[in-house]
Amino acid sequence: MSDEYLESMNDDFSGVIGRYERNLVSVRTGRASPQMLENVQVMVASYGASMPINQLASISAPDARLLVLNPWDKSTISDIEKGILSAGMGLNPQNDGQIIRVPIPALTEERRRDLERKVNAMAEDARIGARQVRREYNDIFKELEKEKEISEDDLKRFMGLIQDATNGCVTKVDAIAKEKCQEVRSS
């Protein structure tokens, strides 16, 4: 039974890292990538709902400095533009009534610092997530020890394994953050 908890814990730590990596996709590095807009939500007035941008348009990157969105419903063009503007990515979409072009400007030094701060804030959120997983599994094993399902020695061993897994997760998050910050600096 304890092995099942440890396996579940490792899955939870992998989930923390996976969420962090998915969130980092939205941090632009000076090169156009359709994934940059993946997390952008668009409030579509005609549908009365907020939707992910990739459900409203196809997104392509014909070159390193341009994204092109081809909306499936042309009536949503202005809503898509507003969604991109309100996403806080520093992008200014332009439309010709059929498609939306999003030029990717070169990063200024100030914008690079802002993006690094954003990457580090996201990393801190991931670290907090890892500590929450640690707390959850420490509580589970303390409860198992209290109910005499595991011994006190087992509890100490499991808490050591939990701490090791937490340290591994935090180390991985730090490495990913360092790599992304380096990418932002060099773009």
Side-chain-side CA neighbours of residue 175 (13 Å)? 7
Classify 44 as helix, strand or coil: strand
Decide: 173 and 126 in contact? Cβ < 8 Å: yes
Q: Work out the percent of the chain whose per-residue pLDDT is above 70.
A: 97
pLDDT of residue 78: 87
Higher-pLDDT residue of 187 and 87 is 87
Which pTM does this prediction carry?
A: 0.72
Q: Compute the distance between CA of residue 14 and CA of residue 85 in angstroms, rounded to an integer.
A: 32
- Sketch out the chain's domains with CATH numbers: 2-24+108-186 (1.10.132.20), 34-103 (3.30.1360.40)
Decide: 165 and 29 in contact? Cβ < 8 Å: no
Decide: 13 and 166 in contact? Cβ < 8 Å: yes
Q: Compute the distance between CA of residue 184 and CA of residue 170 in angstroms, rounded to an integer.
A: 21
pLDDT of residue 1: 62
Query: For 137-149, what is each residue's pLDDT tens digit?
Result: 999 999 999 998 8
User: Binning pLDDT at 50, 70 and 90, where does residue 30 land?
Assistant: low
CA 134 to chain centroid, in Å, comes to 20
Mean pLDDT, residues 48-75:
86
pLDDT of residue 28: 67
Q: For all residues of the chain together, what is the average pLDDT?
A: 87
Mean pLDDT, residues 95-124:
88
